[in-house]
Amino acid sequence: MKKYLFIGNWKMHKTLKETESYLVNFLEKLIDLELLDREIAIAPPFTALFLAKELVKNQPLKLVAQNSCWEEKGAFTGEISPFMLKELGVSLVILGHSERRHIFGETDEIIAKRVWGVYKFGLIPILCIGETLEERQAEKTLEVIESQLKEGLKYLKEVRGDDLVIAYEPVWAIGTGINATPSQAEEVQSFIRKKLAEIFSSEVAERIRILYGGSVTPENIEDLMKEPNIDGVLVGGASLEVEKFFKICSIKINKRTQVNTQISLPNYSNLPQEILEIPKKYRRLVIVGASPKSDRPSYIVMDYLLKQGFEVLPVNPAYKEILGQKTYPSLEEIPPEFKPEVIIIFRKSEEVLPVVERAIKVNPKVIWLQEGIYNKEAQSLAEKEGIKIIMNLCFKKVHMMGKKDKNF
């Protein structure tokens, strides 16, 4: 189960004495807090990490570092390595924070190397991304977010999802007392989730925790955490006070119901009942020409079938995964033990015949073709083999509905 994550980023605050006083008091409060659905962590300055490690030993409080180099050792004056951080009990590392980008001039390339290095050594990178006030006012927020996200993750080829964290921190909200509204944060974090699905897969994207950071307080945390794509918070100033940070970490989380943006197949009452009954008879389907784009007919149909409990395998040589399902480059590579009963084909008219010929070799019970596709030769071939072939199944209507009404 994906747990919510609450991180206190102390930045350049607290001496050893202050660190000890804080942690003793905070850990005492944690004793009575139910932590089944969440994880809590602190990011002290490097000078306090060893002391913090001793104080949190066998306690439900994780340690986070505020930065890291990408190498294990070497001539990197002023840097600290992931290997050294692991010795100090660190499990997560903040990277690409706006203060590193804008005060210390860290580039996307440097941040990408840091992310890769931390991940390589078995620590969890927390990639921070966010737009400035000028970029938001120029309506470049999503453009900036997409660029920082893709650049920061470019050296990570595969992740599980639970081994990566993204933190959205609008620069204009950090330390200003002005936080993004819950809806503003949700808009961006929903966008981030979609981009993560494109970079990795939808299944992996759902497992990645996306945090919000920027003037988080005990007063606004409850509303922020209601949003579907806010999986936790990266807290700055408010984390420096035991009482404030504990209030933030201990709130009851009541998620707002996420608006369903997927479209179900309409009930085509004008279609023959025989056709409408087909999904009830068969459970194993293959979709040729499946697309990862949510407004495409093949995506809508596949999403509907998966939600109804069907076994669905997508075929498309351009993608590794669609909707969490492994994608196969061709019909010939579908595992023989799967034995598909229905093959749905999304192809242009001139491409249908060779696909139907290959589909026949798989020996399904039914072949479906999307609306507007009619091929008499393909129909004859299928019927000769005793395979029912259905054409013009109105998928175009589904596509148009997807374009016009996302809440259908």
Query: What SS3 class is residue 331?
Result: helix
Rounded Cα gap, residues 47 and 16, in angstroms: 8
Residue position matching structure tokens 């949510």: 294
- Is residue 60 a contact partner of residue 91, using CB atoms and an 8 Å limit? no
Residue 192's identity, in one-letter code, is I
What is the tally of helices (H) and strands (E) in the chain? Answer: 17, 15
Angle at 153 between CA 147 and CA 155, to 5 degrees: 125
10 CB contacts (<8 Å, ≥6 apart)? 42, 43, 44, 45, 48, 239, 240
Just list the catalytic residues: 97, 169
Which residue blocks in 88-201 are alpha helix, DSSP H?
98-102, 108-120, 133-137, 141-152, 182-199
- Is residue 195 a contact partner of residue 158, using CB atoms and an 8 Å limit? no
Rounded Cα gap, residues 63 and 86, in angstroms: 10
Residues in a beta bridge with 209: 165
47 CB contacts (<8 Å, ≥6 apart)? 16
**In terms of C-beta density within 10 A (0-12 exposed, 13-18 middle, 19 or more buried), how is residue 292 classed?**
buried
Q: The dihedral of CA 23, 2, 11, 250: what is its sign?
A: negative
C-alpha radius of gyration, the chain, whole number: 26
Rounded Cα gap, residues 210 and 220, in angstroms: 17
Write the DSSP symbol of residue 328. Answer: B
